[in-house]
Amino acid sequence: MNARTPPQGPGPLSKNEARLAWGLLLPTVLSVSLVVILPLLAVFWISFKPVGLADLRAPVPVVKEALRGRPKAPGDAAQLEYRLRNSSRDKAIAGVVLKDRLPVGMRILEPDPRCRVDGRDLTCDFGDIAGGFRDRVRMAVRLEPAFFDRGENPRDSVPKVSGKAENVLTSFRFTLANFARIFDGAQFFRVMGVTLFYTVVGTLGALVVGLFSALLLNKSFRGQGILRGLYLFPYVSPVIAVAFTWITLFDPFSGSANALLVQMGVSDGPINFFGQKPLALGMVTLFEIWRYFPLSFLFILARMQSIDEGMYEAAEMDGASPFQQFWYLSMPMLLGILSVLFLLRFIWTFNKFDDIFLLTGGNAGTRTLTVNVYEQAFAVSNIGAGAAVAVVVFASLVLFSVFFFRYVSREEGL
Tell me the three-class secondary structure of 352-393, residue by residue.
CCHHHHHHCCCCCCCCCHHHHHHHHHHHCCCHHHHHHHHHHH
Domain residue limits, the chain: 61-164, 177-412
pLDDT category of residue 169 using cuts at 50, 70 and 90: confident
Q: Where are the alpha helices (DSSP H) in 115-156?
A: 145-149
67-88 mean pLDDT: 87
Share of the chain above pLDDT 90, in %: 40
Q: What is the pTM of this model?
A: 0.78
With CA atoms as reference, report the closest residue to 246 among 120, 383, 237.
237
Which amino acid, residue 257? A
pLDDT category of residue 267 using cuts at 50, 70 and 90: confident
Q: Which CATH superfamily is domain 177-412 in?
A: MetI-like (1.10.3720.10)
pLDDT at 155: 63
Decide if 61-164 and 177-412 have a common fold: no
Q: Are 275 and 364 spatial neighbours (Cβ–Cβ below 8 Å)?
A: yes
pLDDT at 300: 93
Fold of 61-164: Immunoglobulin-like (2.60.40)
Classify the C-alpha dihedral 170-175-178-179 as positive or negative: positive
Distance between CA atoms of 300 and 297, rounded to whole angstroms? 5
pLDDT at 221: 77
Asked whether residue 10 carries a pLDDT value surpassing 80, the answer given is no
pLDDT category of residue 249 using cuts at 50, 70 and 90: very high
HSE of 226, CA atoms in CB hemisphere, 13 A: 3
pLDDT at 3: 54
1-17 mean pLDDT: 64
Q: Are 367 and 194 spatial neighbours (Cβ–Cβ below 8 Å)?
A: yes
pLDDT category of residue 413 using cuts at 50, 70 and 90: very low
Digit-coded pLDDT (tens) for 96-128: 999 999 888 888 888 899 999 998 899 999 999
User: What mean pLDDT value characterizes the chain?
Assistant: 87
